[in-house]
Structure 1
Amino acid sequence: MLDLALRMVFCALLCSISARASGCPLRCECSEAAHTVKCVSKDLRSVPSGIPGYTRNLFITGNQISRIGPESFKGLDNITTLSLSNNRITKVESQTFSGLRSLRSLDLSSNQLAVINPEAFTVPGHTLRELNLSRALYNHSSFMNLAVSLRWSTLGEIRTLDLSGNRLIYLPSHTFSYLGGLRRLILANNSLVALHNGTFSGLDSLEQLDLTLNALRTVQEEGLAELASLPPGVRLLLGENPWTCICGMEPFAAWLNSSQGHVGDAEGLVCAFPSDMRNTSLLRLAAGQAGAGGDGVELGCHRVGEGADLALQTSYVFLGIVLGFVGLVFLLVLYLNRQGIKKRINDMREACTEMLEGYHYHYEHDSDPRLSQVSTTADI
């Protein structure tokens, strides 16, 4: 038994020495035939050195790497696919990927990116085509850093950008303006509540926009204008949002009815609120507003308006009654206290009279010169 254990240890050491001799980093798996190196869940604290030059596909995932910089990938000109997901990376320094001249796909998903240098994603030759940042941003400040980096880095030829699962609430205008070659933008599983003017400006080559699993309750006129500005033929995905089917939903329902060819999941869009409209198709709302009859559903906004006017009139009547009652109470109080009020008025009048007489006496005394002479003689 002991002999078997020694043999196993010897074989493991031999394999390790063989791997090191062939240029494979410690704790990594290398395949020269597949041009692939994998360093998966090895508790690495940094990108390992000694990665073979033949590597085209590099997978360093599930480790404890906190930062990456330009020194992390020196001499790896042949890498086309780089996966750095789930490494707890918090900082991406300037020119980190500038040495990867053949890089086409970069996966930084499931990290905690807090600091992103403006030139973090600069890749020579504009070779990068796919950038996966799903569940990668630490907070909203990280997204603002990313927005600056998207402007300054050489990403004009990128085709796919995945920003899903980042708890995004708001997208600033012109965030993607410098991604003219972008064809697929994934914003699913965030917390977007509205679409604003200029959000998707500059995306002249866009083919698919994924807005599923957000917090969109409706799309206002500003958002509808933004969607209308997208390139012809773009495919929209809007499912799994909490659509609220109340008054004000009509413009979006009408737009949806006229844009079914562009909304890939239009038939699956249903109301989430109010409860009596839950699971009602938004297309049925559109048909009801258009007066198509049949299976259409009307929101009944005109009836709601009439009810609101009636409620307002009732409120005014009630307010008048309350004010009238208050006035009667006030008059009753005055009547019950008429004697006391009269006495107070007389007392105030007498006090004012005495005060005025005193002022009048002093004025006459000061203005009569004879009285002044008498006073002077008396002093002598």
Structure 2
Amino acid sequence: MDLLFCLAVAFLVAEAPACPEVCVCVARKTYSRHIADCSYKDLRAVPAGLPSNATTLTLSVNRITSLREDSFVDVANLQGLWLTYNEISTIGKGTFGFLAQLKNLDLSHNHITDFPWWDLQNLTALELLKLSNNRLEKVPLEAFSMLKDLRSLWLNDNRLTVLSEGTFDSMPLLSLLQINNNPFNCSCKVWWLKRWLESSSVSTPQKDSITCATPKNLKGLTLGRNLDLDCSLPSVQLSYHSSLDNSVLHDGLSLLLDCSAVGKPQPEIRWKIQASGQTVVINGPNAEEEGDNLLAGARFEESPGRFLVFKNGSMAISKFSKTDEGIYTCQAVNDVGSREVSVNVALSSSENPADDLLQNNIQASKPRAKSCDKDEFPKSEEKIVVIYLTPTVSKTTTIRGILWEPWPWGSMFTVFLLALYT
């Protein structure tokens, strides 16, 4: 009998998951929880031999300085990982990436400056993330894009000076956000955050501690309703010029689109061209000279690129043809936000080009639907402009009015522009 008993005990011990000597491993069968408690053990690293069935691992209040990619390879079923009050400064990429069932991750009160943000892309079950009291200086815009179930996010007491607009938009269940005690730079880059804090239903405790560290004239002021930031959304206007030699008939038309924008801070101008089934995005100037100096067709041959964008925001298209027909969008962007205006450019040889183009473009008579903040976004304005171009006379027309004269000619080109303010 004693022999059988000993064999049974040996069998059970062999089947039981291992537990490091310094840890206490407990099974809570009622809740299907297996806890490995390794806290308060003066550990310098994550111990080896952790039980593979552990659902909760506590390593808080130790002296762990780094986490490696294989630190938690034996505990892939973790739902809770607690590492608060350690000395962690280095975390290898992929350390948390395979913990797909993780719901709670606490790394607060450490020395973390560089967090492996892209590990979070795989932690889709995460509900609590605590990174407070560390040394984080930035958070990537897409860091939380996959955390659809996250309820509580702690980023307080770090070194964050700015957060990108949209950082919290991908977390529909977020109910608690801690961002207090960070040295925010209250430039126009945090204008969106100020508005978000005023309007969001997400709880943000200690709002009085969400303050400006810079600039000097705003230091110590709360990032709230009473903070006056001299910022404004861009206002953008589009005008255009035709360019043809006064004596020589070119093979195609040359078109110059001038985009001007004002705002605080001064907006940058970007272009998007949707033509011939393709989209071209130009995020800055790609030609040295100003557009007004390139109205002569010969100059185009000296500059690279089919679409030339200049430092003043204008864009030129040389020898405009059917393949260039499409939507040309000028976008003005600053730290507050962006606005854009688009023109739909087409060529026609019809005697009534406006009628033909309107019949083929139902949207020409309808404003674009867009939900906007009424205080910041005025009602969209829609203009339809028809310009007659002649190979012997240069004309200029703006989107707020039209100056043209009908000229008799054998082969007539028409440029149809639909201007949308959004």
TM-score by length of 1: 0.47
Looking at CA atoms only, which structure, 1 or 2, has the larger radius of gyration?
1
Larger proportion of strand = 2
Higher RCO (C-alpha under 8 Å, 6+ residues apart): 2
Larger proportion of helix = 1
TM-score by length of 2: 0.43
